[in-house]
Structure 1
């Protein structure tokens, strides 16, 4: 049985779909306490019951991004706040390989904020 999140990933065109699905796998495999939930019509990822990141795509470019819930508490050059007061995002070029080491570093920082 497909979950709402599965339908979400199926709605994107390639190469964005593959990029989002790869991000999904990175996040879910990052820690055994990470789980996927459906909130605000998008996939959110929780760590021990607390929201820490989500996946979406930029309205202007269509590029997928990793959103960090408490991004304002994390300083990293790959994270941008734009007009967000609490969250920061990391845009992904769907035509490029994912910067796995950078993503893992940001996920580690996001989880450490929750601890």
Structure 2
């Protein structure tokens, strides 16, 4: 918990407040989501599977939500990450946070994990 607090507190304003608000939006989206530090950044997990992470882009200095299975998410606002698998939603800390958009994308990402979990359970039971 200390690591998480330090990650948010070491950011400059307005990024610190923006990241904290993003954290609240994501955690309020689904009661099963949990938060952990992975890869040196706050990550949000659904049944121990990483859904997304928060970080500040080094070039733009803007907060971002990094979606792990982004290639399966279909939203025009998501930008392609360093690899095909990841997608990024860049947030402008000086404008209103697109809460509805974030909720939609996080819900879709959680549903992807649910579907994959069901499929893997079916294979194990066969």
Q: TM-score range by the shorter chain?
A: over 0.9
> How far apart in 2 are the matches of 1:53 and 1:82?
13
Secondary structure of the equivalent of 2:80?
coil
Q: Distance in 2 between matches of 1:21 and 1:10?
A: 9
Unmatched 5+ stretches in structure 1:
none
Structure with the greater alpha carbon radius of gyration: 2
What is the rounded CA distance, in whole Å, between the counterparts of 2:81 and 2:108 in structure 1? 20
TM norm structure 2: 0.87
What is aligned with 1:80? 79
Computed over aligned residues only, the root mean square deviation of the Cα atoms, in angstroms, reads: 1.0
> Would you identify which runs of 4 or more consecutive aligned residues in structure 1 move more than 6 Å?
none
How many equivalent pairs are there? 114
SS in 1 for 2:55: strand
Aligned to 1:48: 47
Q: For structure 2, which runs of at least 5 residues remain unmatched after alignment?
A: 115-126
Shift of 1:82: 3.9
1:56-109 deviations in Å (ceiling 9; x for gaps): 011111000011110011110110114322110000001001000000010011
How big is the shift at 1:55? 0.1
Aligned to 2:94: 95
1:56-75 alignment, distance < 5 Å: 56-75=55-74
TM-score (norm 1): 0.95
- CA distance in 2 between partners of 1:32 and 1:93 (Å): 26
Q: Which one has the bigger helix percentage?
A: 2
Alignment partners' CA distance in 2, 1:76 and 1:61: 21
Q: Which moved more, 1:9-18 or 1:74-83?
A: 74-83
